[in-house]
Amino acid sequence: MPRDLQCSKKRIERLMREAGICGIYRRRRRGCTRRDPAAEPSDDLVNRQFDPGGPDHLWVMDVTEHPTPGGKVYLAVVLDAFSRTVVGWSIADHIRTELVVDALQMAIWRRRPPKGSTIAHSDHGSTYTSWAFGRRLRAAGLLGSMGSVGDCFDNSVAESFFGTLQLELLDEHQWTSRQHLALAIFEWIEAWYNPKRRHSYCSMLSPVDYEAAHAA
C-alpha cells in the first residue's frame, strides 16, 4: 500500500471492525503498592527531574504484578533514568521485602556506583520503607528518595516502563503458569528491551547503545 494513501479515521475504524481486529493500547496499570502508615519515608530528592546528566546519577524503582492461572507474578525493577536501562530486576510469587532488595542488589552488583553518588527513587510502598531495604541502601551508599503519595508523575519513568511491558508483552499472550511468564519477562528485558528496543528518550537508540554512545 502506498505510504501517501489518504484515508479517513472513520473508514479505518469501519474496516477494522468488519475484519474483527483492534489496535493495541495502553491501559491503566494495576498498582500493587501497600503503604505502612507507621513508616518514615525518605525526602524527595528528585522533584520530577528525571533527566540526569549521566549513568548512575538516578535510579528509579517500582513493582508491578500480573495474574496467571497459577497465581500472580510480581516484578521489581531498578532503572537508570539516564538511559532507561533495567539495571536490576527480581521476579517472585510474593511482594515481600526481599523482592525489592534482590532487584536493588542486582543493580549494585552490575553498576557498582561510588558511595554517595546515586539517588535511588521509589514510591511509598511498605517494601521500600522497610528496615531491611533502608539498611541495604545505606550499606551501598545510595541516597534514598521518595515522591509524594499516590502521584504517578513522581515516578513517571518506572510507570512508563511498566506501561511498555504491559503493552508489548503482558497483554499479548495467555500465560499458562508463573514459570512461563517469569521466563518471558526475563527474555523481554535482557534479550530485547535493554539491548535492542529503541527508545524515543534515547534518541531512538536502545538503552545499551545509548550508554555506549555516551561513554564514547
Residue 29's contacts (CB-CB under 8 Å, 6 or more residues apart) are 64, 159, 162, 163, 166
> Is residue 112, in this structure, part of any structural domain at all?
yes
Task: Print the domain residue range for 143.
Answer: 58-215
* Mean pLDDT score across all residues of the chain: 88
Q: Is residue 63's pLDDT more than 50?
A: yes
> Is residue 120, in this structure, part of any structural domain at all?
yes
Q: Is residue 108's pLDDT more than 80?
A: yes
> Is residue 43, in this structure, part of any structural domain at all?
no
Q: What backbone phi and psi angles, to 5 degrees, belong to 74?
A: -110, 135
Cell numbers placing 76: 521489581
> Is residue 121, in this structure, part of any structural domain at all?
yes
Cell numbers placing 192: 530485547
Residue 1 has a pLDDT of 46
Residue 133 has a pLDDT of 96
Q: Is residue 43's pLDDT more than 70?
A: yes
Domain total in the chain: 1
- Whole-prediction pTM: 0.83
> Cα–Cα distance between 124 and 94 in angstroms, integer?
18
203 and 210 Cβ atoms separated by less than 8 Å:
yes
Q: Is residue 31's pLDDT more than 80?
A: no
> Is residue 40, in this structure, part of any structural domain at all?
no
| Most confident of the ranges 32-36, 95-99, 153-157 | 95-99
Backbone conformation region of residue 56, classed left if phi is above 0, alpha if psi is from -120 to 50, else beta:
left
> Is residue 92, in this structure, part of any structural domain at all?
yes
Q: Is residue 7's pLDDT more than 70?
A: yes
User: At 159, which CATH number?
Assistant: 3.30.420.10
> Is residue 108, in this structure, part of any structural domain at all?
yes
Least confident of 6-20, 29-43, 144-158, 170-184: 29-43
Q: What's 64-85 look like in SS3?
A: EEEEECCEEEEEEEEEECCCCE
> Is residue 191, in this structure, part of any structural domain at all?
yes
Give the pairing of strands 119-122 and 58-68: parallel
Question: Is residue 19 very low, low, confident or very high in pLDDT (cuts 50, 70, 90)?
Answer: low
Name the percent of the chain lying above pLDDT 90: 71
